[in-house]
Structure 1
Amino acid sequence: MIHYDLKCPKGHEFDGWFASASAFDSLLAAGHVACTLCGAKDVEKRIMAPAVRPARKAGEKPKLQTPANELEAAMAELRAKIEKNSEYVGLNFAAEARAMHEGKIDERSIYGEAKPDEARALLEDGIPVAPLPFMPKRQAN
């Protein structure tokens, strides 16, 4: 994705996100880019500086922010406890929870991801689940 600051002939400034520079050019040529205030289609890109993050040194791990308040600290502590004491089962959460509830597999602490309709079905079937107040870190193989 690429972000452009744009301007119309009347001086209105606005921004837009595009899949690529060529996608912007194609949309502009087809008349699909218009001023958000007056609808003028003769828009142009404004001069802007790219947003580039400084490179990390080889082997350097990113620094985590210190919690800004008590709530953030409590959330970080909760996340650490869940990750330490539970198994991440990813998108298999609903199936794993149902199998444990039905006695097909041994019970254990798990967390993962479920689609809203899967979570609703678990609750309707009396299977105790609760949403986490954070997104799980995606884990690779």
Structure 2
Amino acid sequence: MIRYSLKCGAGHGFDSWFKGAEAFSALKAAGQVICPVCGSATVEKELMAPAVRPARKAAAPKPDLSAPGSELEEKIAALRRQIEANSEYVGMNFAAEARAIHAGDAPERTIHGEAKPDEARAMIEEGLPVAPLPFLPARKVN
């Protein structure tokens, strides 16, 4: 496994793991390496330094990974809290439940959940008022 530091055409930096250089090249050529911030498939490897472990005595304190790392992360966390507090999570039944609400066959309410890309595309084409969320459901977060 190899970790690459990547940067999209809009300047967003991120990193990702790949089986090797060939796997990265194949995924990039297929348009499957995308920026998690803006969704751009224009992604390039950045210059990287090898990972060198510091001596045990010189190890830096561990960062608080539960705290937002940027203003954008804080805004996304606030949006997530607002959505979770004011809507019902319907899981993988999102497409069916959204269609039922839109048709008047289910009670009118605000919902959020998961849909496969083809289901999401179909709902948008049908004119359902849906939008993707910029975060994963809590059960899918590491």
CA distance in 2, matches of 1:129, 1:102: 14
Name the residue aligned to 1:126: 127
Alpha-carbon shift at residue 115 of structure 1 (Å): 0.7
Name the residue aligned to 1:138: 139
CA distance in 1, matches of 2:139, 2:108: 23
Uncovered stretches (5+) of structure 1, i.e. residues with no partner: 5-15, 18-35, 37-62
Name the residue aligned to 1:56: none
Name the residue aligned to 1:79: 80
Identity of counterpart residues, as a percentage? 61
TM-superposition CA deviations, 1:78-117 (whole Å, max 9, x none): 0011111111111000000000000001111111100111
Uncovered stretches (5+) of structure 2, i.e. residues with no partner: 3-17, 23-63
Alpha-carbon shift at residue 64 of structure 1 (Å): 5.5
TM-score by length of 2: 0.52
Name the residue aligned to 1:91: 92
CA distance in 2, matches of 1:78, 1:85: 11
How many residues of Structure 1 are paired with residues of Structure 2 in the alignment?
84
TM-score by length of 1: 0.53
Name the residue aligned to 1:70: 71
Name the residue aligned to 2:118: 117
Cα RMSD after superposing both structures? 2.5
